[in-house]
Structure 1
Amino acid sequence: MPSAKDVGRAVARRLQPVTTTGPQAAGTMLRRIVEVAIDGTGRFPSARTTAARHLEKHGGSVDAAIESLIDSHVRIGTAQGFVTNLGGIVVAAVTIPANLAGVAVVQVRMIAAIAHLRGYDIDDRRVRTALVLCLLGGEQIGRRVASGRLPTTPLAIATAPVFDPNLDARVSEAVVGDLLARVGGKHLPLLITRRIPLLGGGVGAVVDGLATYQIGQFAKGELVRRRALSN
């Protein structure tokens, strides 16, 4: 099976022309990442296949499968965060796009697999908007909803009566901006350490692994079972 780094680089080659400009470009970028994460590519398994493997491994227990999913994706995220940040500032022009795409693919597949196990239709555009929004994490989403920058939560979007293309564009722009800030190292301590070979790899591993864990925990709590919603 190819590594997250390999998948990230493959996706990054397709994304580089649209990584920095406007809501339309943000939407295009996220759609491509979501397609790879949910549908799979080459030997990179789809979200459904991944969910099914974890469910079978844990004897049909959805809760155990979700915990296993999160653990495995944290390991993948940590590994690709290390490898794509080893070279320091010298290779940053290559590794930042690869890391951006790689960590996003890993995290979206994890969220989508959780949603699938919880009974959501991950082909539904409303659900896909919700999956992308989960990438911000609970704290960021709470702040943006409280300030009015976002109207509602991933759960409300996934279960809304109709798809809202304007909301989808807003979510895409917010998430791409957050990913670029996080992966590009705009926060000073991260920027400094990523300039140093090897040390940058360790920091990248911690940042991506921790972010993947937090996002997985948020998605697990946010995307409640569809059966429970209908009761």
Structure 2
Amino acid sequence: MATARDVGRAVARRLQPVTASGPQVAGTALRRIVEVAIDGTGRLPGARVSAAKHLERAGGSVDDAIESVIDSHIRLGTAQGFVTNIGGLATAPVLIPANLAGVAVVQVRMIAAIAHLRGYDINDRRVRTALVMCLIGGEQLGRRIATGKLPTTPMAVATAPVFDPDLDARVAEIAFADLLARVGGKHLPLMITRRIPLVGGGVGAVLDGMATYHLGQFTKGELVQRRALQS
């Protein structure tokens, strides 16, 4: 079984630095994260493979498989080896910081696995837009919809008649900004505890685990069953 350290190094090899600037940065960074999460890399199997393994272990129960997917990704997201062994990514000034990029891959992989188990085609560009919307999280997403910054829910986007490239770009920009904002949100408790041995890393792990849990619960409730799961 792959360790968090193995996964971190494999992701680092796939997520090469984004050095461009401008409005394309968010879309480029998020596309790479989604591609790694869905397709897999190195010793990190993709979302479909992960979903299939959990479904088999759950005896074919989709609901039990989804719970198992969420639990396993919480553990992976909190693993210190994962978030501290993605060297090189942080050298790109416009890219999501390395530890957050790694956790984002884990979270998108979880979201995509849930979507696959619920019968969505995760190769569909509409669904991929919806996956990134789920990464924003239920509370933040609700605020964006209420203020008109986003038009509708991930479920509606995933099942829309056509792909909307403008919406996709807007979603990427918002998700990218939120990911960067999470760094600021984690800095205060980490600064407070940085002089206490072992505590600082533990705080970061707890925050990542809590975020992963909430995203899993939101996705489970948002992306309801679409059709029978296809292998």
Distance of aligned partners of 1:190 and 1:7 in 2 relative to their CA distance in 1, 3 Å threshold: farther
Instruction: Say if 2:130 and 2:158, in contact at 8 Å, map to a contact too.
Output: yes
Distance in 2, matches of 1:194 and 1:166, equals 42
What amino acid is the match of 2:184?
G
Instruction: Name the residue aligned to 1:15.
Output: 17
Instruction: Name the residue aligned to 1:172.
Output: 172
Instruction: Name the residue aligned to 1:145.
Output: 145
Aligned length: 218
Instruction: Name the residue aligned to 2:37.
Output: 37
Distance of aligned partners of 1:128 and 1:202 in 2 relative to their CA distance in 1, 3 Å threshold: same
Distance in 2, matches of 1:171 and 1:194, equals 34
Distance in 1, matches of 2:30 and 2:14, equals 11
TM-score (norm 1): 0.86
Deviation, 1:81, is 7.9
What amino acid is the match of 1:103?
V
Instruction: Name the residue aligned to 2:226.
Output: 226
What amino acid is the match of 1:75?
R
Distance in 1, matches of 2:214 and 2:134, equals 10
Greater relative contact order (Cα 8 A, min sep 6): structure 1 or 2? 1
**Identical pairs, percent:** 70
Deviation, 1:16, is 4.4
Partner deviation per Cα, 1:12-31 (whole Å, 9 max, x = no partner): 5x13425xx44311001111
Instruction: Name the residue aligned to 2:191.
Output: 192
Q: How does 1:41-60 map to 2 (within 5 A)?
A: 41-60=41-60
Q: What secondary structure does 1:15 align onto?
A: coil
Q: What secondary structure does 1:177 align onto?
A: helix
Instruction: Name the residue aligned to 2:9.
Output: 6
Instruction: Name the residue aligned to 2:64.
Output: 64
What amino acid is the match of 2:59?
G
Q: What secondary structure does 2:216 align onto?
A: helix
TM-score (norm 2): 0.86
Instruction: Say if 2:51 and 2:117, in contact at 8 Å, map to a contact too.
Output: yes
Distance of aligned partners of 1:190 and 1:63 in 2 relative to their CA distance in 1, 3 Å threshold: same
Deviation, 1:203, is 1.4
Structure 2's unaligned 5+ residue stretches are none
Deviation, 1:181, is 1.2
Instruction: Name the residue aligned to 2:25.
Output: 25
Q: How does 1:58-137 map to 2 (within 5 A)?
A: 58-80=58-80, 83-84=83-84, 97-137=97-137
Residues 215-224 or 200-209, more deviating: 200-209
What amino acid is the match of 1:44?
L
Distance in 2, matches of 1:132 and 1:125, equals 11
Instruction: Say if 1:26 and 1:176, in contact at 8 Å, map to a contact too.
Output: yes
Instruction: Say if 2:90 and 2:98, in contact at 8 Å, map to a contact too.
Output: no
Instruction: Say if 1:2 and 1:44, in contact at 8 Å, map to a contact too.
Output: no
Distance of aligned partners of 1:175 and 1:81 in 2 relative to their CA distance in 1, 3 Å threshold: farther
Structure 1's unaligned 5+ residue stretches are 86-91
Deviation, 1:194, is 7.0
